[in-house]
Structure 1
């Protein structure tokens, strides 16, 4: 697994509900639905979670039961009833929102507003800049890479994460020998808008672009939250929104769907389903169906 530690986190609430003295026969549609309900209400575990989180925990239980059947520890397979999939997020950033988010990472915020329109008319640096957060945001916006892949980026070839090959202008999002997972990380050309930034970052950092005091950070949380707050954006703007934004911008510019899928490491089916309506050619034939007599 890409994150084996998640199994440990999921085991705690799962064993609290499905653990001894219960047997595999207890696992059915009724018990699975009750687990999701109790987990969302905070009756299981230390705090209440979303139904999607409870669903991922049940997926871990399902994987464990399938593995036990495959290893002949169970005579028959034990199906696990999962909750309905959550609606795909459609939040993406406009150009002005993206600029405000980068400005927030650099400690820049609005200092004066127009009285009538309430729009900012003057900006100034009022807080200490977090340069590593700004780099994280720019890489996410221009490359469409996932949160974890960006944080692991190095300047040199390594086995723990991706790296920038500035000799050939290629971004490798997977480390040397790293196994490919369902969340694909294909190598892509470094976008032209990002390349000058990357070359400059290479001169002023030592390990990788998203480093703090000479070390790569493990998670982008507090710094991103501060940038979001200074930009005046809501909590629905998460680091994963950067990937959504990159794909949406590409679709709006008319980039072919197969090329967007290859660049972002997302299947064409997902691109069509979630982002297809942003493409200028979306249902173009249907829109012209009633043209003429």
Structure 2
């Protein structure tokens, strides 16, 4: 299995949006699958792997420093690793290095996350990142260390763009990077030269508030080479700094940079955005937007609710006015008979 994974790392991983993340996952896979063969891959061993991984703490967990219990690997995380294993095996077969079809059994997909930031939480998170200072032991310096994260959050919640696309965005077109055109107010999210994938990255029209910030950053040279940069260099990830900002903002649940995308979709629905337009803007299908975020829309099921609470004379055979008319007729007839 080691050969299968090494070929995948050499040929396919460099073409991914963040090869370092793919490499880290593949190395984790190799720790358990490395001494096995393709013949050992079946439903039983895949389930054993999921059980093994979900009993482990995440590598980023630092309970000794934080004082909090270590967060464990989730079934979704194990599934993502098995997806890489499946890709590596399929690539190995497609290259003609194996004639057998080997199936990888995946655990069921987790329900999509519905967590999002309120406007108050987003403001606290941005402010905490903006004020973050460098620490040396117990000593706090005057050096700013989180303002690039504040810029990331602003772009994330106002455009719903994925983490990697924001980190790779520049103010000038460049191969391998996305491009924000502040003159036209358009964010070209897909990296120049990159192929289209299932994760759609259509150009997005920038909201006026965000565009004002971006033009100021560009004009003042705050972000020279990239929208999100640290020490004058583009950053690959803001995950660690984002987690530190979340702690400083006293957000009492675990959140990742991807919550910015959930937040943008939720805010768009709460403001009554058209589902088709919002889906195109976010780069997702209208069906997915409706299924995951549609209940936030102010008109969600409004038409059905109104129809259920109203009275339709044509469909309701038992009608109050009709009953009244019938009663009057019968009373009149009885009166005539008495006379």
Give the alignment of 1:232-247 within 5 angstroms: 232-247=250-265
2:72 aligned with 1:54: no
How far did 1:25 drift? Answer: 3.0
Structure 2 distance, partners of 1:71, 1:209, is 39
Separation of aligned partners in 2, 1:6 and 1:227? 22
CA distance in 1, matches of 2:237, 2:251: 20
Q: Which residue of 1 aligns with 2:27?
A: 12
* C-alpha distance in 1 between matches for 2:302 and 2:191: 41
Deviations 1:120-144 (A, max 9, x none): xxxxxx9865322221111111111
Q: CA deviation at 1:6?
A: 4.6
- Compared CA separation, residues 127 and 240, structure 1 to 2 (3 A): farther
Distance 1:269 1:215, change over 3 A: same
| Structure (1 or 2) with the larger CA radius of gyration | 2
Cα distance, 1:34–1:226 mapped onto 2, change above 3 Å: closer
Residue of structure 2 in register with 1:34 after alignment: 48
Contact kept? 1:106, 1:128, Cα under 8 Å: no
Q: What SS does the corresponding residue of 1:218 show, helix, strand or coil?
A: coil
Cα separation, 1, equivalents of 2:37 and 2:236: 39
CA gap of 1:23–1:218, structure 2 versus 1, over 3 A, is closer
Residue 53 of structure 1 and its aligned partner are, at CA, apart by: 1.9
Secondary structure at the aligned position of 1:219 is classed as coil
TM-score by length of 2: 0.73
Match of residue 153, structure 2, among 137, 148, 162: 137
Q: Deviations over 1:100-155 (max 9, x none)?
A: 111112228xxxxxxxxxxxxxxxxx986532222111111111111111111111
Query: Are the counterparts in 1 of residues 186 and 205 from structure 2 also a CA contact under 8 Å?
Result: yes
User: SS at 1:163's partner residue?
Assistant: strand
Q: Which fold has the larger relative contact order, with Cα–Cα distance below 8 Å and residues 6 or more apart in sequence?
A: 1
The residue aligned with 1:203 is 219
Farther off after superposition, 48-57 or 130-139: 48-57
Specify the alignment match of 2:279 in structure 1. Answer: 261
Counterpart-to-counterpart distance in 1, 2:30 and 2:131? 45
Q: Decide which of 195, 210, 213 is 1:194's aligned counterpart.
A: 210
- Inter-partner Cα distance in structure 1 for 2:92 and 2:286: 34
Matched residues, number = 274
Q: How far apart, CA to CA, are the structure 1 residues paired with 2:298 and 2:246? A: 30
For 1:198 and 1:24, the matched residues in 2 are separated by 50
> What's the CA shift string for 1:129-185, capped at 9, x where partnerless?
532222111111111111111111111111121121122111111232222222221
Q: What's the counterpart of residue 171 of structure 2?
A: 155
Which 5+ residue runs of structure 2 have no aligned equivalent?
A: 1-14, 62-71, 133-140, 312-339
> Structure 1 200/46 Cα, relative in aligned 2: closer, same or farther at 3 Å?
closer
Deviation at 1:219, TM superposition (A): 1.5
The 1:83/1:280 distance shift into structure 2, 3 A limit, reads same
Structure 1 residues 45-54 or 154-163, which shifts more? 45-54
Distance in structure 1 (CA, Å) of the matches to 2:225 and 2:52: 45
Change (3 A) 1:64 1:237: closer
**Offset of residue 214 of structure 1:** 1.4
More helix by share: 2
CA 1:267/1:202 → structure 2, altered by over 3 Å: closer, same or farther? same
Distance in 1 (alpha carbons) for counterparts of 2:130 and 2:34: 49
Quote the Cα distance in structure 2 between the aligned partners of 1:230 and 1:16: 35
SS in 2 for 1:242: helix
Question: What secondary structure sits across from 2:187 in the alignment?
Answer: strand
2:199 match: 183
1:75 is paired with a residue whose SS is coil
Q: In the alignment, is the contact (CA less than 8 A) between 1:254 and 1:279 conserved in 2?
A: yes
* TM score, norm. by length of structure 1: 0.84
